[in-house]
Structure 1
Amino acid sequence: MKIGILGSGLMGSQLGRIWATCGHDVLFSYSRSTSKLDRLARECGGQSATVSEAVRDADALLLAVHWSRVPDVLEQSGALKDRVVLNCCVPLNDANSELVLGTTTSGAEELARRLPDARWVSCFNTVPSEAFEPVFARKGETPPPQVLIYGESLSAKKVAQDLIRDAGFQPLEAGGLRTGRFVEPFAMVTAELAYAQPGGPALTYHFTKFR
């Protein structure tokens, strides 16, 4: 699969490396430093690209930028008609301390309103990037940690589920984009547990239903 990474910070670079290791063709784009994109490409056998190049032939895209950068990267990406877009963004203020949307809408819903012809699916936004490498290193162990996934397009969810499993996680179905109203605040809980509480940031979760 050809995957365009829109945003090559902690989330985009870690997932891009993992997917490249799984054999996917990964294009890294959108960084303040072109040398960083080149380095990522060299390290994992991917490619560095402009946003438009990353979008052009991709089978799937990962949107992984700070919320303040979303308008800029989407302006460069174009309409994304019929494109599968995995969104791991949380709508945070510049200090990363507060959500700027919530209760009556969500970042996931606002992205879909902005580009309604894209096939949006949200995932990975409730797992700290520090957990990706250790989870991938333990891939195949049971039970795998889970990743909440939500969106309207079943075909987009299928693509996202496969990529989630590639990374060593189990996708956990959580409904449509409206679920983002509750998942995005939950992401703040996982951030609190990962970064403000003892034990280190490589935090995962697994929900269990008892019958």
Structure 2
Amino acid sequence: MKIAILGSGLMGGTLGRLWAACGHDVTFAYSRSTGKLERLARDSGATHGSVAEAVEDAEAILLAVHWSRVDDVLQQAGLMTGQVVLNCCVPLDDSNTDLVVGTTISGAEQLAARRPDARWVSCFNTSPSESFDPVFARKDQTPRPHLLVCGDDVGAKDVAGSLIRDIGFDPLEAGPLRTARFVEPFAMVTAELAYGQPGGPALTYRFDKLR
């Protein structure tokens, strides 16, 4: 699968590297440093380019930038008509302390309103990037940790689910995109558990219905 990674931080860098290890055609884009994109591509056996080059003909696009940068990256990405966009952005303030959107609307819904012809899926924002490598290393073990997924396009969620399984998680259906109104605050809980409490940041979760 051809995947565009828009964002060169821990989230985008780690997922792009692991998807490349699975055999996907990964292109890294969007960084203040071209050298960083070059390193990510070299170390992953992937490629790098401009945002426009990365999204062209991409079968999946990962949006993994700080909330303050979404307008800029969307402008460079264009309309993304018909393309599957996996959004892992949480709408945080500049200090990464508080949500700037919430309860009656979500960051995911705002992004979808800005690019309504793209096929949006919200995922990967409820587990810290530090968990991805250990989950990937244990991907053949069961039970797998869950990863919440919400979106309005069934086919797009199927694409997201396949890529989530490649990392080693089981996708957990969380309903339509409006569920992101509650998922994004939950992401703040997982961040507190990962970074604010003892035990290290490689945090995962799993929900089970008891019978």
Give me the TM-score of the superposition, normalised by structure 1.
0.99
**Deviation digits for residues 73-126 of structure 1 (CA, Å, limit 9, x no counterpart):** 000000111010000000000000000000100001101111100000010000
Q: Which residue of 1 aligns with 2:193?
A: 193
Task: Structure 1 unaligned segments of length 5 or more: list them.
Answer: none
User: How far 1:170 sits from its partner (Å)?
Assistant: 0.3
Q: Which residue of 2 aligns with 1:60?
A: 60
Mapped to 2, the partners of 1:46 and 1:181 lie a distance apart of 34
User: How far 1:44 sits from its partner (Å)?
Assistant: 1.1
Q: How does 1:1-211 map to 2 (within 5 A)?
A: 1-211=1-211
Mapped to 2, the partners of 1:140 and 1:149 lie a distance apart of 21
Mapped to 2, the partners of 1:157 and 1:113 lie a distance apart of 18
**Deviation digits for residues 151-191 of structure 1 (CA, Å, limit 9, x no counterpart):** 00011000000000000000000000100010000000000
Give me the TM-score of the superposition, normalised by structure 2.
0.99
Aligned residue identity for 2:22: C
**Deviation digits for residues 2-51 of structure 1 (CA, Å, limit 9, x no counterpart):** 00001111100000000000000000000111011011111111001100
Mapped to 1, the partners of 2:45 and 2:189 lie a distance apart of 35
Mapped to 1, the partners of 2:57 and 2:106 lie a distance apart of 29
Q: SS state of the match for residue 203, structure 1?
A: coil
- Taking only the aligned residue pairs, the percentage that are identical comes to 71
Structure 1 consecutive aligned stretches of length 4 or more whose deviation exceeds 4 Å: none
Mapped to 1, the partners of 2:169 and 2:19 lie a distance apart of 13
Mapped to 2, the partners of 1:32 and 1:136 lie a distance apart of 28
Aligned residue identity for 2:101: L
Mapped to 1, the partners of 2:80 and 2:16 lie a distance apart of 20
Q: SS state of the match for residue 27, structure 2?
A: strand
CA RMSD of aligned residues (A): 0.5
Mapped to 1, the partners of 2:44 and 2:7 lie a distance apart of 16
Aligned residue identity for 2:43: E
Mapped to 2, the partners of 1:51 and 1:193 lie a distance apart of 33
User: How far 1:193 sits from its partner (Å)?
Assistant: 0.2
Mapped to 1, the partners of 2:189 and 2:138 lie a distance apart of 24
Mapped to 1, the partners of 2:25 and 2:57 lie a distance apart of 11
